[in-house]
Amino acid sequence: MFGIGLPELLVILLIVLIIFGASRLPEIGAGLGQGIRNFKKAFKEDKAIDVTPEKELEEKTEEKSKEEA
């Protein structure tokens, strides 16, 4: 369907080289790699923000305190 071969990739690379210049290509590549790495890491990690409603959260803390006593 989207057969991108070697000639098409070379044309894309040439256009990117003309637009951004040779000195900016390493910066763009590093930024793109870091963005992909962060995206993958976000899917693998547990959620950092707890979205449990306050009522359920209070019940859980009460249960934990009863278990510890």
pLDDT digits (tens, 9 = 90+) for 4-37: 898 998 998 899 889 988 888 889 889 999 999 9
In a domain, 53, yes or no: yes
Q: Is 49 helix (H, G, I), strand (E, B) or coil?
A: coil
Please, which residues have CB within 8 angstroms of residue 25's CB and are 6 or more apart in sequence?
Answer: 16, 17
Per the structure, the count of domains in the chain is 1
In a domain, 39, yes or no: yes
Domain containing 53 equals 34-69
Distance CA 38, CA 34 (A): 6
Rounded mean pLDDT, 51-59: 68
Contact 7, 15 (CB under 8 A): no
pTM of the model: 0.47
* Cβ count within 10 A of residue 16: 13
In a domain, 17, yes or no: no
In a domain, 12, yes or no: no
In a domain, 23, yes or no: no
